[in-house]
Structure 1
Amino acid sequence: MAVFRLPIRLIRERFGGDNFDDAGDWVDDWLRDRGERRYRIEYSFDAEHVNPWFHAMVMQIDGLSDAVGEALRRGLVEEGLSD
């Protein structure tokens, strides 16, 4: 299972407001555009840190290969959705 942490501050900068579904749609579209099959993606939020700078939307993707996972990590950085 691959785990991705998208900082909430970056999602807000990229999509405005609390458009978390747009961030999820971006990942789904990214996978589909590369011919990847549809994956089961689980979403949760980590807002336990006292400083909101560290709050994140956490995505867990089952069955993602290491190569596709690394490419997605790079894509998230390029898109401004990850540090």
Structure 2
Amino acid sequence: MPIDKEARDSNNSMDCKEAEEYTELFLKFCSWMEPVLRKAVIVTLVGLCVLQIFLRIPALRGFIALTDRFEGVAVDRLEGR
């Protein structure tokens, strides 16, 4: 059952309109989502840096890293070795 040329052209123009509409919606979504993702990455990196700084402070390390108490006592090396 052959499809006539008018029906095929009508289908093709609908596909183009749907593709353009999809592209428009995708670009709107991307323009909204890009700043959100950028902020999330920046907040994550800043949080990581701040927590690493807090881990350098012995008084705070006990509250942040609960497994620190299982590590035992550090062995001091003798000078000269």
Q: Tell me whether the two structures share a fold, i.e. TM-score over 0.5.
A: no
Q: Pick the structure with more helix per residue.
A: 2
Higher relative contact order (CA 8 A, sep 6+): 1
Q: Normalised by the size of structure 2, how large is the TM-score?
A: 0.22
Q: Structure 1 length as normaliser, TM-score?
A: 0.22
Greater C-alpha radius of gyration: 2
Q: Which has the higher strand share?
A: 1
